[in-house]
Amino acid sequence: MTEPTDRKRTSRRRFLAGVAGAAAAVAAKPALAEDAKNLPPNVADWTRALGDGVGTRPYGHPSKFENQVVRRTVPWLTATPESSVAFTPLHELDGIITPNGLCFERHHSGIAEIDPNDYRLMLHGLVDKPLIFTLEDLKRMPRANRIHFLECAANTGMEWRGAQLNGCQYTHGMVHCVQYTGVPLKVLLAQAGVKANAKWILAEGGDAAAMTRSVPLPKALDDCIVAYRMNGEMLRPEQGYPVRLVVPGWEGNLWVKWLRRIKVGDKPWYTREETAKYTDLMENGKARKFTFEMDAKSVITSPSPQAPLRQKGFTVISGLAWSGRGKIARVDVSLDGGRNWRAARIDGPAFDKACVRFYSELDWNGEPLLLQSRAMDDTGYVQPSKDALRKIRGVNSIYHNNGIQTWALKPSGELENVEVG
């Protein structure tokens, strides 16, 4: 994504401090309004009257009472909404699957609207037979179904220098997890016949950014998918309709949307997106390149700053964990800022390179707590603290911030994004 330089960030902070100083960050929701006429012993309105008939909602939408469950943007983050991001409302979701309309969106030149009749995928370069596929062609090919998370490399990127955004939608909302249906890339490549000296592929989007990334051939032949469906239906335009590349476990920028071309080559291309962007600047001024895997990461989604506690007593801590290196093996939760940990319960499936849902029970007596979660994957990688990451990388790397998140729970039930030391 397009990140501000710190100089700009500082001036923006000053500006915002002046303009919005009085506004609360994210206020706790007011107590739910009840209408006694619908409550026992009275008979509710909806128990007496007929509702809408079938067919009045040909494509079903969430209840009108759920209209706060939407993607949100941070307007000051980028120069223009066509090259920006809208975040997944993680605090409003449970389970492991993200509903299609809520999957975070990050575009570089807006949403391409592609007529499926005019869709073509070109496959060329170091191949025996350069080929062009229509969408119908792709749908006739053997297909695979895989559940994978997709995380933008810049997720949590605004937090390197300290707690900045107050809500997991903003700190962690550049991740989603859906089931993809599509053609394994190795099957497509075999149709063209990859030459012996091939080592990389170039994936190119059909949008006005023609987003382009180099992917090592072994990954392309391993588990990449040329996907056209998400959660059963065709991809949403924001997710690359009609076709995107799925690169399991690797940074989201590689998952080229509106995929129009795959070129096979013997070297990486060093495109702008894998040099000027999506490289990780270290403290010594040198930058890591091709940092593909997304390391194990987790976040407590509820309670969190946008999902405060409304009462004392029993409640469930709920969160998401994922790893680009394999399966999540375990998640621990701390109530005291990382001094003591207890294992959380993973409920539901734990697939390779997919989100898992974890729960931990809490009897809250109103005391302040420092909530954290810590993910471990089946390679033995343990999610590090933010300070442990900073010690190695400094604070200028923007990307791949998978440090442990802390939410301060206050006696009022409100929560805040804080840094601990």
Using CB under 8 A, which residues numbered 64 to 103 contact another protein? 64, 66-70, 72-76, 78-80, 82-83, 101
Tokens of 311: 């009462």
Contacting residue, 157, 252, 305, 324, with another protein by CB under 8 A: 305
Considering beta carbons, is residue 338 or 348 the nearer one to another protein? Answer: 338
Helix H or strand E encompassing 268? none
- CA atoms of 264 and 200, how far apart (whole Å): 6
Q: Decide: helix, strand or coil at residue 171.
A: helix
Residues near 37 by beta carbon (within 8 Å), at least 6 away in sequence: 44, 45
Residues near 119 by beta carbon (within 8 Å), at least 6 away in sequence: 134, 135, 242, 243
* Closest to 182 (Cα-Cα) out of 230, 115, 253, 248: 230
Contacting residue, 179, 231, 271, 315, with another protein by CB under 8 A: 271
A 10 A CB-CB count for 54 gives 6
Site of tokens 């706790």: 28
Q: Closest separation between CB of residue 343 and another protein, Å?
A: 8
Q: What sections of 214-269 are H helices per DSSP?
A: 217-222
Region 157-216 residues binding another protein, contact defined as CB under 8 A? 162-167, 170, 184, 186-187, 190-191, 202, 204, 208-210, 212
Binding string, residues 333-352; x marks residues near another protein by CB under 8 A: ---xxxxxxx----------
Region 124-153 residues binding another protein, contact defined as CB under 8 A? 124, 129-133, 137, 140-142
- Residue 281 binds to another protein (criterion: CB under 8 A): yes
Among 20-28, 39-47, 227-235, 359-367, which window interacts with another protein (CB under 8 A)? 20-28
- Residue 419 binds to another protein (criterion: CB under 8 A): yes
- Residue 276 binds to another protein (criterion: CB under 8 A): yes
Contacting residue, 288, 310, 312, 345, with another protein by CB under 8 A: 288
Binding string, residues 399-418; x marks residues near another protein by CB under 8 A: ---------x-------xxx
- CA atoms of 236 and 239, how far apart (whole Å): 5
Among 172-180, 289-297, 349-357, 358-366, which window interacts with another protein (CB under 8 A)? 289-297
The backbone region for 77, taken as left when phi is positive above 0, alpha when psi lies in -120 to 50, beta otherwise, is alpha
